[in-house]
Structure 1
Amino acid sequence: MSKIAVLGAGSWGTVLANLLTDNGQNVYLWTHSADQAQTLTTTHMNEHYLGDFKLNPDLQITANLETAIGDASVILFVVPTNAVRSVAEQVQPFLAAQPSWRPILAHAAKGLEKGTELRVSQVIDEVIKPELTSGLVVISGPSHAEDVATHDITTLTAASTSLAAAKSIQKLFMNDYFRLYTNQDVLGVEMGAALKNVIAIGAGALHGLGYGDNTKAALLTRGLAEITRLGVKMGADPLTFIGLSGVGDLIVTGTSVHSRNWRAGNALGQGETLANVLANMGMVVEGVSTAKVVHGLAAELGVEMPISDAIYRVLYEDAPLKQVIADLMKRDGKPEFDFEIETL
């Protein structure tokens, strides 16, 4: 039995911790809130995020970070993207004090750090030097916590430059409803995971405006082209974007009411202000901050991303949704595939 520390008691962290406990692992779920830790321990529920879903009573919950991570063979970060650095900074001294203890680090966050434009694995590597670990694994793909909680069949990617570390994570998680595939394209997996949140806001906005299936299919397909274009420019394998962390994650996030990014876009399409949407969501909408990062990256790398740019304009420049849609449709005609992607 392995000891696993799951850092972050939101919906996804709670469900993953519970799954690992069901799989027979010794799991500690860490939350920064002592009140939340007490409530979860007493009620065996995380009502704020998961309603009346009952947690495995063997899942251990704590607000003490040292208790959670001490001697863990795996430390899994499941906190919002812009909280990863601060949590990693709290973990780092414990690992540095015991150089012979080299856990696998993993994360299941989906975003790019605001201000640095770094992927989550880069943030962790910057704070916790690789020599203190046995590898860093990215867990990503089409998944909603609510569906995993009800044992809906789910397939994800475990991506790492260390195939041994990826296989270790794969073995820990797999069961009769949860399956992981290994992948060594960390950059592509993380970019697909982050960028689809931006496109999902657009998909939700189209629904809120009353557009039909043709329009939604057009947005998701051309959105995937943009994701691929930027990812390949950064060095990712184009095949990653037709896999679970590309088209798979885009489908589930861009079509489901469980997606907070889709819900945020839907509310914008119905006329709500961004401030009200974020205030009422109750959870982090990763696509909002990622849209700003992507806007900067696309400009820096000279990558054309008209849909992502339109969503940025709506979120940060108060551009009217119907106007940006009209602007997109009036652009000059172009081939479906640009030369750079075609030749890869």
Structure 2
Amino acid sequence: MEFKYLSILGSGSWGTALAQAFSKRFKNVYLWGRDQEIIDCINKNRENKKYLSGIKLAENIDASTDIYEVFDRGDIVIIAVPTQNIRDVLRKINFPVRKPVISASKGIEIESLKLISDVIYETLDIEKELIFVLSGPSFAKEVALGLPTAVTLAGNSETGEKLQNHMNTNTFRLYLNDDITGVQIGGAVKNVIAIATGASDGLGLGNNARAGLITRGLFEMTRIAKLFGGKPQTLYGLSGMGDLVLTATGELSRNRTFGFLLGKGLSVEKALEEVGQVVEGAKTVKAIHRLIKEKNIELPISEVVYRVIYEKLSPKEAVGILMNRQPKREEL
């Protein structure tokens, strides 16, 4: 396989940041988005003013609203669109795909309770060995600025090594993992836990509470990973614990910020408006809520996050529910 051209679906902050990060490793990077104003701004001004204002983009990034052209041009395709939109976006691709497709989106499809890799396989005419997942502690702004970042690339080892060797840069390092399921669960569920830690911080509950939520949140992530057939140990790596710590504590985290605003007393609608971008955890928690009901699985942090967002439970009441649960042994 020869990799000269990269295609990225999604011109938001993450897709644009990945285009910038990988621009030094490809002759051209083709970026697709729906918003013509964003596309024009990238092509004319070398800037995504809406999502990554002030960051000068590389000259070899070409943006377009033509999804067929962008998808077809790349030797590798990265998907960086909101999780719940991926199936509809990929349905537009009506030709066989014989090149690696990498999901850089994080979440679980609400309607089907399926992971993104499964959605890709069901929607595209593609072999499973060509489907990969990119996940880990990586704020888009820092990636675009060229700050050191380490993430996980999960999928087939043989092709994965070729991707790793070609896509590694001196600021963006990829570690291989064959547990594509566990890696996706980490990337999806950590957003829900980050909403909880943000709400805790918004309530002023302190460092002890935050550490407890992160640790017990990691347990919930491993429990869900096992339910889907993933390896629990995967969640102790970059795509699990690494991403959880970043998203639950970092000031650039949309999910943490959303939770923080809820903790400060804003309504769900006002908090979402204030964040101004997709809060994936607020959608993923719907899928987790369905899992709780259908699989009779205990995930108390995720459950109260769902109730705060969709059943008008106050963050303060959520704390009371968590702290007054039946005493039990610590499971690891």
What TM-score do the two structures reach when normalised by structure 1? Answer: 0.93
**205, 215, 226: which one pairs with 2:220?**
226
Which residue of structure 1 lines up, in the alignment, with residue 163 of structure 2?
Answer: 169
Separation (CA, whole Å) in 2 of partners of 1:69 and 1:108: 15
**Counterparts of 2:194 and 2:225, CA distance in 1:** 17
User: Residue type matched to 2:142 in 1?
Assistant: D
CA distance in 2, matches of 1:146, 1:305: 32
Conserved? CA contact 2:98–2:126, under 8 Å:
no
* In structure 1, C-alpha distance between the alignment counterparts of 2:174 and 2:74, rounded to whole Å: 21
Of 186, 195, 210, 2:180 maps to 186
Question: Structure 1: which 5+ residue stretches go unaligned?
Answer: none
| Residue 105 in structure 1 maps to residue 101 in structure 2 | yes
- In 1, are the aligned partners of 2:27 and 2:60 still within 8 Å (CA)? no
Where do residues 248-327 of structure 1 align in structure 2 (5 Å cutoff)?
248-327=242-321
Hey, what does 1:214 align to over in structure 2?
Answer: 208
Inter-partner Cα distance in structure 2 for 1:80 and 1:297: 21
- Asked if structure 1 preserves the Cα contact closer than 8 Å seen for 2:292 and 2:299, the reply is yes
What corresponds to 2:110 in structure 1?
114
> Is 2:30–2:62's contact at 8 Å kept on the other side of the alignment?
yes
Shift of 1:138: 0.2
Q: Which runs of 5+ in 2 are unaligned?
A: none
Tell me the residue number matched to 1:72. 74
Say yes or no: does 1:147 pair with 2:142.
Answer: yes
Q: Determine if contact 2:32/2:70 at 8 Å carries over to the other structure.
A: yes
8 Å CA contact retained: 1:45, 1:52? yes
Q: Distance in 2 between matches of 1:79 and 1:232?
A: 26
The one-letter code of the counterpart of 1:65 is I
Shift, 1:71, TM fit: 4.0
* Paired position in structure 2 for 1:58: 60
**2-structure distance, mates of 1:186, 1:285:** 23
The residue number in structure 1 matching 2:11 is: 9
- Deviation (angstroms), 1:263: 0.5
**Structure 2 residue aligned with 1:32:** 34
What is residue 123 of structure 1 aligned with on the other side?
119
When residues 113 and 205 of structure 1 are mapped into structure 2, their CA distance, relative to the original with a 3 A threshold, is same
Deviation at 1:156, TM superposition (A): 0.5
Separation in structure 1 between the aligned mates of residue 106 and residue 241 of structure 2, nearest angstrom: 15
Give the CA deviation at 1:47. 1.4
Counterpart AA for 1:116: S
Residues paired across the two proteins, number: 330
Of 201, 204, 215 in structure 1, the residue corresponding to residue 198 of structure 2 is 204
Contact 1:19 1:173 in 2 (8 A): no
Q: 1:259-296 CA deviation, whole Å, 9 max, x = no partner?
A: 10001000000110001112232210000011111011
Residue identity over aligned pairs, in percent, reads 37
Question: Aligned equivalents of 1:112 and 1:25: distance in 2?
Answer: 33
Q: Residue 46 of structure 1 corresponds to which residue in structure 2? A: 48
Deviation at 1:134, TM superposition (A): 5.8
1:220 match: secondary structure: helix
RMSD: 1.4
Indicate if the aligned counterparts of 1:102 and 1:134 stay in contact, CA closer than 8 A.
Answer: no
CA–CA distance in structure 2, aligned partners of residues 309 and 103 of structure 1: 39
